[in-house]
Amino acid sequence: MSDQEALTGERLFVDRFPEEARIVRAALWSSFVALGIGALGGLIQALHRTNYFRFIDSADYYTVLTLHGVLLVISFTIFFLVGVFTWAMVRSLDRPVDDIRFTWTWYLLMAAGTAMAGIAILAGFVDSIPMSADVLFTFYAPLQAHPLFYAGLAVFIIGTWLAGFDWFRMWWQWRDENEGERIPLQAFMVLTSMLMWYIATLGVATEVVVFLLPWSLGLIEQVNPLLTRTLFWFFGHPVVYFWLMPAYLLWYTVLPKLSGGRLFSDPLARVVFVLFLLLSTPVGIHHQYVDPGIAEGFKFIAMTNTMFLLLPSLLTAFTVVASVEHGARQRGGEGYLSWLGVLPWRDPAFTGMALAGLMFAAGGFSGMVNAGMNINYLIHNTLWVPGHFHLTVGTAVALTFMASTYWLLPQLTRRAVYSRRIGLFQVVLWFVGMTLMSNAMHRGGLIGIPRRTAEPQYSGFAFDAGFSTVGELRFQIAIGGTLLFISVVLFLGNVIVSLLEPPMEEAFDGTLPPALSGPEDSPEVLDNLALWTGIAVLLVVLAYILPIGAIISEGGLFGPGTGTYPAWIIEVIS
Ligand code: HAS
Ligand code: CU
């Protein structure tokens, strides 16, 4: 028995599952490379848009914006997700992956897909290369990218599908050996998130493989833009929960432990993940409230579903805060709010995750504003929307990922974090930078400043800032964006220097305590994944069949004039 085991009673993840720890590390490092490059893109944009410093030509703005968006919301988030999900499956089922070569295969597919898409985007900077992909992370028609970009996306998504298969296969084997037992909570979270992902990615896979890729290859002349948009948003809303679910997994299972307590309720956590599986996809049309060609009634249904979808996050706010409070009371905290003071605020992992949760509460409220059909008209396509998603994916998710790295690192590398003080400073800096940037973005959006433009000033037109000035908003965005970039540099530097340190001597406790109210308190039907998947598919069919049918019959499957069916079908049948 090593000293580690003697002190903590449990071996570190890296000692117990060295092969799996290697793949989790590979996924995290890939995600951090994307974070570094994506963050640089963010700094360039923030300074460019606000006109403080222009490193690039405005003509290249969309190349930078695409690089920033794709690397951060596709590569950074999803590579981190596969790392955390692999760790969570292996540790919660307490078994290795079935075949490590298969595991490396999906990782390599994801890496190859990212490289393909990345090359297509970066080529946009070089005039002599006839390739570009300035299509932003929402990449729907009529913007068109080089085929390499779409092929890269397809390869990346296939990689994630195989990753899901890997985890399901582990679970099937575990189930055979543990008949009648409840699915361990972390595994339950991974499996339900993946089922949601399989349903959601059907939309984007169809969009890319049937329409955009053949169109960019010149095999088909045109596409129906509204159809590709709708297929994109079929995926584009649930993908935001795919980013969020690993953060939720960490809030539910790791944050209570860092607070000194235990998860309040395992059954409630299961209900939350089931609700996300059911409701994440039939809401995508809330991104299309202003799209002509979709009847108001369908938009109304999407709005109603979105309002139901607030429920799992509100349940999460309750359960996670209750668990943190329980932790604080274990540490001797008292009173209505004074228990907050005894929490481990010096621990960067705890503080980062708690601040991420706090900001998510604000991001959730701006999401509710977005979701209201009539208020959406006020903020759609304005700077409000980037304000919203920098609080959600840009903080709830990104800050949780960075903060939890400080806790995961020792278990995966046997290295202590080089400086916990820098870690603490870094997570607080993110919070401060984001407060400035996203607040100003929300306010700017309300007065009509558009999103996605290098030149938001529109010469000859002045925005009425209500109180204060547009200059003050721009200043906050520039300062906020710069602080965020410094925070990422400190994070990456801290991680890299940690890896250069010798293996740690002191003990590290990587165990997770069981919930106060365990799975035995919940009905077994919650673990019936086939049932929930069936209902989820049914809800998707109900929400989408009529609008998609109408879009095709009005605009043609392959665009105007092509009719509802591809020409070759008509030739075959006539
Ligand atoms: Fe959103 C647009 C509606 C959540 C991301 N969203 C976007 C876009 C992105 C995005 C990227 O209905 C832009 C896409 C584009 O480029 O056009 N969003 C919502 C709603 C929610 C929501 C209703 N969004 C997210 C999440 C995202 C994300 C999560 C990423 C991860 N969003 C919209 C709509 C649009 C939109 C419209 C279209 C706008 C337009 O017109 O273009 C809800 O899911 C939010 C629910 C959240 C809550 C908060 C609960 C609070 C919690 C905190 C717990 C506290 C802790 C702290 C842990 C109700 C859980 C404990 C610590 C202690 C110390 C005690
Ligand atoms: Cu959405």
Cβ atoms of 89 and 170 closer than 8 Å? yes
The helix (H) or strand (E) run that includes residue 25 is helix 18-49
Residue with CA nearest ligand 1 atom 12: 371
Task: Please report the pLDDT score of residue 468 as a whole number.
Answer: 83
Task: Please report the pLDDT score of residue 7 as a whole number.
Answer: 44
Ligand 1 mutation pick, 290, 320, 385, 401, max ligand atoms within 8 A of CB: 385
Can you tell me which atom of ligand 1 is nearest the CA of 320? 58
Task: Please report the pLDDT score of residue 505 as a whole number.
Answer: 85
Rounded to the nearest angstrom, the distance between the alpha carbon of 379 and the centre of ligand 2 is 14
Cβ atoms of 74 and 156 closer than 8 Å? yes
> Which ligand gives the minimal distance to the CA of 264?
1
If 0-12 CB within 10 Å is exposed, 13-18 middle and 19+ buried, where does residue 127 land? Answer: exposed
* Helix (H) and strand (E) counts in the chain: 22, 0
If 0-12 CB within 10 Å is exposed, 13-18 middle and 19+ buried, where does residue 392 land? Answer: buried
Average the pLDDT over 370-397 and give the result.
97
Cβ atoms of 433 and 483 closer than 8 Å? yes
If 0-12 CB within 10 Å is exposed, 13-18 middle and 19+ buried, where does residue 533 land? Answer: middle
Residue with CA nearest ligand 1 atom 32: 367
Residue with CA nearest ligand 1 atom 7: 389
Which of 282, 206, 300, 208 has the alpha carbon at shortest distance from 241?
282
Ligand 1 mutation pick, 287, 314, 427, max ligand atoms within 8 A of CB: 287
182: which DSSP letter?
P
Which of 331, 352, 183 has the alpha carbon at shortest distance from 255?
352
Per-position DSSP letters for 306-338, written without gaps between them: HHHHHHHHHHHHHHHHHHHHHHHHHTT--SSSG
Distance CA 230, CA 203 (A): 8
Residues in a beta bridge with 450: 382
Return the structure tokens found at 51.
């006109």
Active site residues: 237, 241, 388-390, 451-452
Average the pLDDT over 420-449 and give the result.
97
Rounded to the nearest angstrom, the distance between the alpha carbon of 84 and the centre of ligand 2 is 24
Residue 201 — very low, low, confident or very high, per pLDDT cuts 50/70/90? very high
Return the structure tokens found at 173.
């084997």
> Phi/psi at 382 (nearest 5 deg)?
-105, 175
Can you tell me which atom of ligand 1 is nearest the CA of 380? 41
Task: Count CA atoms within 13 Å of residue 559 on its CB side.
Answer: 11
Can you tell me which atom of ligand 1 is nearest the CA of 251? 58
Task: Count CA atoms within 13 Å of residue 328 on its CB side.
Answer: 21
Average the pLDDT over 272-278 and give the result.
98
Task: Please report the pLDDT score of residue 462 as a whole number.
Answer: 80
* Neighbouring C-beta atoms of residue 143, cutoff 10 Å: 15
Distance CA 261, CA 222 (A): 58
Report the Cα–Cα distance between both ends of the chain, in Å, rounded: 76
* pTM across the whole model: 0.96
pLDDT at 394 over 90: yes
502: which DSSP letter?
P
Task: Please report the pLDDT score of residue 561 as a whole number.
Answer: 72
Rounded to the nearest angstrom, the distance between the alpha carbon of 371 and the centre of ligand 1 is 10
Which of left, alpha, beta for 501 (phi over 0: left; psi -120 to 50: alpha)? Answer: beta
pLDDT at 254 over 80: yes
Whole-Å CA distances, 145 to 41, 121, 316, 468: 19, 9, 39, 41
Residue with CA nearest ligand 1 atom 33: 367
Residue with CA nearest ligand 1 atom 55: 357
Residue 3 — very low, low, confident or very high, per pLDDT cuts 50/70/90? very low
> Which ligand gives the minimal distance to the CA of 393?
1
Distance CA 239, CA 205 (A): 13
74: which DSSP letter?
I
Residue with CA nearest ligand 1 atom 47: 364
pLDDT at 316 over 70: yes
Contacting residues for 189 by C-beta, under 8 A, at least 6 apart: 88, 245, 248, 249, 252, 253, 269, 273
pLDDT at 267 over 80: yes
Rounded to the nearest angstrom, the distance between the alpha carbon of 505 and the centre of ligand 1 is 41
Distance CA 447, CA 443 (A): 7
Can you tell me which atom of ligand 1 is nearest the CA of 354? 62
* Neighbouring C-beta atoms of residue 219, cutoff 10 Å: 9
Distance CA 137, CA 75 (A): 11
Which of 139, 162, 114 has the alpha carbon at shortest distance from 62?
139
Q: Which residue is it, tokens 């988030």?
A: 77
Long-range CB pairs of 220-223 (<8 Å, 24+ gap) are: 220/558, 221/558, 221/559, 222/558, 222/559, 222/560, 222/562, 223/141, 223/558, 223/559
Residues within a 6 A CB radius of ligand 1: 138, 240, 243-244, 251, 286-287, 306, 309-310, 313-314, 316-317, 320-321, 324, 354, 357-358, 360-361, 364, 367-368, 370-371, 376, 380, 385, 388-389, 392-393, 397
Distance CA 193, CA 195 (A): 6
**Alpha-helical runs (H) found in 461-558:** 470-500, 529-555
Residues with CB under 5 A from ligand 2 (ion): 237
Distance CA 334, CA 58 (A): 55
For 101-120, the pLDDT digits (tens) are: 999 999 999 999 999 999 99
pLDDT averaged over every residue in the chain: 94
Residue 563 — very low, low, confident or very high, per pLDDT cuts 50/70/90? low
Q: Nearest 5°: CA angle at 192, between 188 and 197? A: 145
Which of left, alpha, beta for 372 (phi over 0: left; psi -120 to 50: alpha)? Answer: beta
Ligand 1 mutation pick, 245, 258, 313, 384, max ligand atoms within 8 A of CB: 313
Task: Please report the pLDDT score of residue 4 as a whole number.
Answer: 42
For 409-432, the pLDDT digits (tens) are: 999 999 999 999 999 999 999 999
Task: Please report the pLDDT score of residue 44 as a whole number.
Answer: 97
Task: Please report the pLDDT score of residue 10 as a whole number.
Answer: 62
> Which ligand gives the minimal distance to the CA of 279?
1
Residue with CA nearest ligand 1 atom 46: 364
The helix (H) or strand (E) run that includes residue 233 is helix 225-236
Which of 421, 416, 423, 417 has the alpha carbon at shortest distance from 507?
416
Distance CA 209, CA 290 (A): 26
Rounded to the nearest angstrom, the distance between the alpha carbon of 237 and the centre of ligand 1 is 10
Residues constituting the chain: 574
> Which ligand gives the minimal distance to the CA of 68?
1
Per-position DSSP letters for 507-533, written without gaps between them: ------PPPSB-GGGS-GGGG-HHHHH
Residue with CA nearest ligand 1 atom 63: 354
What is the percent of the chain where pLDDT is above 70? 96
Ligand 1 mutation pick, 370, 375, 379, max ligand atoms within 8 A of CB: 370
Distance CA 210, CA 180 (A): 43
Residue 446 — very low, low, confident or very high, per pLDDT cuts 50/70/90? very high
Cβ atoms of 542 and 282 closer than 8 Å? yes
Rounded to the nearest angstrom, the distance between the alpha carbon of 361 and the centre of ligand 1 is 9
Which of 433, 239, 261 has the alpha carbon at shortest distance from 342?
261
